[in-house]
Each structure stands twice: as structure tokens, then as C-alpha cells.
Structure 1
Amino acid sequence: MLYDTDRRILRRWQGDPDLAPSDLAAALDLPAATVTRRIERLREAGILRGVHAVIDWAALGYAVQVSLRIQLDKSAPRAFDAFAAAAREIPEVTEIQTFLGRVDLRLDVIARDMAHWQALYRDRILTLPHIAEIEALMHVATVKTDATLPI
């Protein structure tokens, strides 16, 4: 259960995640000890799982981003586990999501350029186990990205 103070902390921290707990306390006009204690409770409850760095992959030379929709051959026992374990080993795979429906998994993959993407696709992606069908969607632009919640 979230209290109003917890909601205030989370709302403010989502808006400015670089704030240190003491600065967060000052911005909310709360004692630093209260904010620190509530942050710890939010972590213990699994509500606040961590603070993440957001990396601009393009600034590091990764100009290509592809989303892969994958259907697995589900006739093979443990196909999902084998596929997921192998996909985790590819450093350029930045996200793996599972779905119910026609698509079983979605992978986000980054590459430096089209030549790197082609080699990665041919040598690493297509060799992943139990793929029945694969669809590649080339990322063109991000229209909206927002991980904040309306708390």
C-alpha cells in the first residue's frame, strides 16, 4: 500500500531521477531521514527496484535498431528456455520480451551499421535454436518513450 508521502517521493523522483535522497527531501519539504526510510521501504517492498542509467546507443556508435518478432517451434521440449538462454548470450540483444498469441518473443537488437546488422543477423540471430518464424522491423524513429507512471 502506498501512502501519500510515498506517492510524492515517487512522482518527484520520476521527474528528476538524478536527485540525491537529501535533495529529494529538500524539494518535498520533508526530513531527509523520512525520505531515506521511505525509499528503503519502497525497495524492500519491490516497488522501487533501482535507479537506471539511460544510455544513448547512437552516441556510442550504434546507429541501427531492429525489433524481431519470433515464433518458436513449440514441438521441441524446452524450446523457450533454450532460445532465451542463447539469446541472452548475444551482447547486442538489449531486450527480450515474451508474449501470448501469435508472436512468442520480441528481441530488441542494436548494431553499429547495416553491415554489422547483416553479420549479426546471419551469424548469431538465425542460429538461435527453435525459430519457426522471424520478422524483422527496422526502427525508424521513437515517437514517445516514457517510463514514468501517473502516481
Structure 2
Amino acid sequence: MHLDDTDRRILRQYQHDPTLGPAELAGLAGVTPATCARRLDRMAEAGLLRGNHAVIDWAALGYSVEVSLRITLDKTVPTAFDAFTEAARAIPEVLEIQSFLGRVDTRLSVIARDMAHYQEIYRTAILTLPHIADIEALMHVARIKTDEVLPL
């Protein structure tokens, strides 16, 4: 989909504050509300806008431990990746699963209330995942940058 300057102005404002009403968004983007709504609809239909969602601060809910697990799978099993990811999806504390090319096959982002809770998750859920050849745990210390805003 080709974006013109008007689309970019709308997106620039929208990504900074998706809670703006149509009239407010249109005013900030310098277009009429009808034009703004029509363009947002077109971008959504094209798959450019994936929707709005709430971002929850897990630390505010008592989750103070975040661990990144780099996992290498047993490559002798042809279905290892599919079986592993299906089982990992079922663990509620696994917030994200990423796949990679290279020595590490997947990365799991895991949250826990405290270290005791993390150890319980690790022993009862992570270590029981199928086809793991190696695990490296990286303890999250600080989030330096997290931003989904694109330079439009």
C-alpha cells in the first residue's frame, strides 16, 4: 500500500495517541473527519493497522521478574519446533515466543511474581517442554528502550 503525506500525518498522530476521537485526530492531521475516517478504514482493510490494544504494566500487577530464555531445540526431530511452540503457548507466564535462524532456535519471554515463582514455572513448565537441547537464561535488569512508534 502506498502512503501519501496525508496518510503519514494521520498515522503519526494516531500512533502517538490511538485514543483520540475521529474529530481530534482529523484536526491534528489537518484533514476533515470524513477524510480521516475513510483513510483509516482503507489502511485497516489493507492490513496496515492491526488494531488497538491495552498495554498492561505487568510490574504494577506484582510481576517483578522477567527472564529471557534462549532455547536450542533437538534438530534430529523433524517436528520439534512445532511441538515445542504448541506446548510453550500453553504456559500463561510466557508472554512472547520468537524464532531465529542460527544457534538459538527460539526465545521465550517469561514473567513471574518473584524468584520462587519463576523457579516453579521453570521446573514445572519450562523444563517439561518437548525437544529442548539447551537453555540459556538471561535475567532482565532494565528496559532501556521499548517503542513501537515508527518514524513516519
- The alignment's TM-score, normalised by the length of structure 2, stands at 0.96
Deviations 1:31-62 (A, max 9, x none): 11111111111111111111121110000010
- Three-state SS of the structure 2 residue aligned to 1:137 is strand
**Percent identity of paired positions between Structure 1 and Structure 2:** 68
Determine if contact 2:74/2:80 at 8 Å carries over to the other structure: yes
Determine if contact 2:6/2:29 at 8 Å carries over to the other structure: no
Task: Give me the whole-angstrom Cα distance separating, in 2, the residues matched to 1:117 and 1:140.
Answer: 15
Task: Give me the whole-angstrom Cα distance separating, in 1, the residues matched to 2:86 and 2:13.
Answer: 37
Task: Give me the whole-angstrom Cα distance separating, in 2, the residues matched to 1:28 and 1:132.
Answer: 52
Q: Runs in 1 of length 4+ with deviation above 3 angstroms?
A: none
Structure 1 counterpart of 2:36, which letter?
A: V
Give runs of aligned pairs for residues 92-107 of structure 1, distance below 5 A: 92-107=93-108
Q: What value does the CA root-mean-square deviation take over the aligned residues?
A: 0.9
Deviation at 1:20, TM superposition (A): 2.2
1:115 and 2:116 are equivalent in the alignment? yes
- Three-state SS of the structure 2 residue aligned to 1:107 is strand
Gaps of 5+ in 1: none
- Three-state SS of the structure 2 residue aligned to 1:127 is coil
Give runs of aligned pairs for residues 123-142 of structure 1, distance below 5 A: 123-142=124-143
Q: How many positions carry a matched residue from both structures?
A: 151
* 103-112 vs 21-30, greater mean Cα deviation: 21-30
- Three-state SS of the structure 1 residue aligned to 2:111 is strand
Deviation at 1:29, TM superposition (A): 2.6
* 106-115 vs 13-22, greater mean Cα deviation: 13-22
- Three-state SS of the structure 1 residue aligned to 2:101 is coil
Deviations 1:110-140 (A, max 9, x none): 0011110000000000100000000110100
Deviation at 1:103, TM superposition (A): 0.7
Task: Give me the whole-angstrom Cα distance separating, in 2, the residues matched to 1:120 and 1:28.
Answer: 47
* 100-109 vs 24-33, greater mean Cα deviation: 24-33
Task: Give me the whole-angstrom Cα distance separating, in 1, the residues matched to 2:36 and 2:8.
Answer: 11
Task: Give me the whole-angstrom Cα distance separating, in 1, the residues matched to 2:83 and 2:42.
Answer: 37
- Three-state SS of the structure 2 residue aligned to 1:145 is coil
1:10 and 2:11 are equivalent in the alignment? yes
Task: Give me the whole-angstrom Cα distance separating, in 2, the residues matched to 1:109 and 1:122.
Answer: 13
Gaps of 5+ in 2: none
Task: Give me the whole-angstrom Cα distance separating, in 1, the residues matched to 2:75 and 2:21.
Answer: 48
Task: Give me the whole-angstrom Cα distance separating, in 2, the residues matched to 1:22 and 1:125.
Answer: 48
